[in-house]
Structure formats: C-alpha cells, structure tokens
Amino acid sequence: MTPFLAASELAGLQDFCQRHNFPSFRARQIASWLYEHCVTDPEDMKNLPAAIRSALKEEFLAPGTVIAENSKSSGEVEKLLLRLFDGECIEMVIIPSEKRLTFCLSTQVGCPVGCYFCASGRNGLTRNLSAGEMLEEFCIGTRRAGRPDNLVFMGIGEGLLNFEQLAVTLNTLVDKFTFSPRRITVSTSGFVPGMEKFASLKREFNLAVSLHAPDDETRSKLIPPKLRYPVAEVLRAADRIAEANNRQYTLEYTLIEGINDSPSHAEKLGKLAFSHHAKINLIPYNETGGPFRRPQPEVIDRFEKTAADTGARITRRIERGAKGTAACGQLRAAGNKKIQENN
Ligand code: SAH
Ligand code: SF4
C-alpha cells in the first residue's frame, strides 16, 4: 500500500532523497514541514523544488485525507467530516474553550463493539485507520485551528482494537510532534486485552474507560456481549494502566433515561470511583434517533449530586456540541446517507 507522508520517519525520507539523488538536507526540510508545521501536502512545502514535490506526491499519500464537510454548532465546536483516500468517511471534532483547544480524533471507520446507543457502531466496522490517517487528523485540525492543548481519542471507533496503529500514532505524536503524553487521552469501551497492551506502553498517557454502568447487568443493556468484559476485570485492567502510566483515570458515564440513571446507580458508581481513585465524567446522552433518551435535567443533577456525595470526583461533559449532528458518529451517518442518496 502507498505509505502516508504524515507517518514518515526521517530515515525513510533520507532514503527517499538518496534514491532520487536529492541532497540529504531536503529530508530534514520535509520532516520539518511535517512535524513542526503539520503540512502534509508537498505543494505547500514552499522551499522544495518542484521535482521533489512531485516525487513526494508520486510515492506517498500526501495527503491521503481531505475535509468533505464541516458543521459548526453553537459555541464554535467544529465537526469535520473527513474523506479518506478510499472514499470512506470519518469525523474529528475541534473543541475550543476559553482555556484550551481540544481535538477529538477517530481511530476506526465504524466500530465493531456496536454499543446499542451509539451511532458509530450501528453498521459495525468497515476498517481500521492507519497511523498515517490518525496523524493526518491531527495535522488537519492543527492547520485549521492551531496547535491543540489536548487530544482525546474519543471519536469513531474503539482505538484499543486497532492497537498497533494507535501505538504508532501515540508514540509519533510524542516523539516527533513533541506532544506531551499527559495531554493525550485514549477512551475505551473496556476492551481488556487492548488495555493490557496499552499499559505496556508505559508512558504517561491518560485513560478514559466508558463504564456507563456500575454493574454487569446494567452494562449488558448498553454494550453487546461480543466485546464486553466484566466490570471487575475492566477496572482491574484500568488500575494496572494507572500504575504503569502514573496517571489517575476517568470513568465515562453516558447517562440514559431509565437505564443507568437511578440514585442507586449513582451511589454504586461513586463508591466504585472513590475506591479505585478514579474521576467520573458524566455525559448526558445525545439522542441519535434510536430508542434511548436523555434524562430530564433534574435527574441528571440528582445523579451528579448523589455520586459526588460518596466523595468521588465528578465532572460533567461540556455540552457545547449538543446541537445538530454533534453526537459521536452522527455526522458520518448523515454524510453516508447523503452520499447514498446522491448515487
Ligand atoms: N470506543 C471508545 C471511544 C469512542 S466513543 C469508547 O467507547 O470509549 C467515546 C464516548 O462517546 C464513549 O464514552 C461513548 O459512550 C460516548 N457516546 C457515544 N455515543 C454517544 C451519544 N449518542 N451520546 C453521548 N455519548 C455518546
Ligand atoms: Fe464503539 Fe465507543 Fe460507540 Fe461503543 S461507544 S460503539 S465502543 S465508538
């Protein structure tokens, strides 16, 4: 397969220059465009002669990904629909706040976990993203909005089921793009074998575990059995990661009416988080056209208070993306529908 320029190493670029009889300092220039300026299109590498630019375009996917659509919702959250080299689409979200800029990145086209409430997994997995594609998401976002303060792998897909490419992406972000691992968060639905590999990276990445339920019975209403692991095993794996990475982890809790929003769920969740030294992040459900509903505001408030009363640290996901097609996977679903309608 044609390699992505965005995932190239300096050694590979030096090899490219040697094969084409280009002077070796050109490799460092290309690397600098990539890693310092996030430029992936040779046409924009202004100090390169035309012959090098066209050779790069011939040998690499440079770039492999383009912006197909953007949807601004209130609060200036920007959702980008990205078209990949093979015509598939993914999303990334640019989330500015007063204090920091966050990018939410996708790891797969679709998702094999298929949580019942999530638009991303509705049609299963199409394919994994390569490291080059994940790095291009980062580069596209940076060129558009500036260098982010935080990166969260919480877009489409279960990154820990695409571990090898995710690990290359994470290590490249730290080693080449000089991004601090403490500012990168990987979110998982609790895929334990992947969590074990993530612990073995032994870097200070953050972990977010999509627990959504303090007990297995409730969790079985949200996540299909195929890739679901018991709550106790998931938390054990998360504890090991916290130890290996030297970071406290987050329990994400998508709050859904009548399923996981009772005071007893809140109390059990608070106790679990407290005893595992984890933070809770409450995500009021964004409705996606299925049967699940977001609880009433007073139910969300009560849940938050009950969980906090156990002594656990709890925050609520900022809701500036709640309008339009803001929920995970919805823009891609809408984009695919449009593409089908046009065919
Ligand atoms: N697969 C990973 C990361 C992507 S999903 C995981 O599940 O953690 C990122 C987060 O978005 C998860 O916590 C998921 O539960 C949440 N999410 C998905 N669809 C949602 C929706 N419609 N409303 C609110 N949260 C949603
Ligand atoms: Fe996949 Fe995460 Fe959506 Fe579940 S919530 S289907 S794991 S993307």
* Pocket around ligand 1 at a 6 A CB cut-off: 111, 117-118, 154, 158, 187-189, 210, 252, 254, 283, 285-286, 288, 327-328
pLDDT of 318 over the 70 cut: no
Helices 263-275, 297-308: axis angle to 10 degrees equals: 40
Ligand 2 centroid to Cα of residue 220, in Å, is 14
pLDDT score for 169: 98
What mean pLDDT comes out for the span 197-219?
A: 97
Q: The whole model's pTM is what? A: 0.94
Ligand nearest to the CA of 122: 2
The C-alpha R_g of the chain, in whole angstroms, comes to 21
pLDDT of 341 over the 90 cut: no
In the predicted model, what is the mean pLDDT of the chain? 92
To the nearest whole percent, how much of the chain has pLDDT over 70?
A: 92
Strands 101-104 and 108-110, bridge-based pairing:
unpaired
133 has catalytic annotation: no
Split at pLDDT 50, 70, 90, the class of 331 is low
Ligand nearest to the CA of 159: 1
Ligand 1 centroid to Cα of residue 118, in Å, is 7
- Ligand 1, atom 13: closest residue by C-alpha: 210
Q: Return the structure tokens found at 147.
A: 């260098």
pLDDT score for 239: 98
Strands 150-153 and 184-188, bridge-based pairing:
parallel
Residue in 78, 89, 91, 104 annotated catalytic? 91
Q: Are 117 and 290 in contact (CB under 8 A)?
A: yes
pLDDT score for 194: 98
Amino acid at position 19, single letter: R
pLDDT score for 334: 55
Ligand nearest to the CA of 123: 2
- Range with the lowest mean pLDDT among 158-172, 244-258, 326-340? 326-340
- Ligand 1, atom 8: closest residue by C-alpha: 188
Nearest CA to 186 out of 212, 213, 163, 220 is that of: 163
* Pocket around ligand 2 at a 6 A CB cut-off: 111, 113-115, 118, 120-121, 157-158, 189, 210, 328
328 has catalytic annotation: yes
What mean pLDDT comes out for the span 259-270?
A: 98
- Range with the lowest mean pLDDT among 49-63, 104-118, 318-332? 318-332
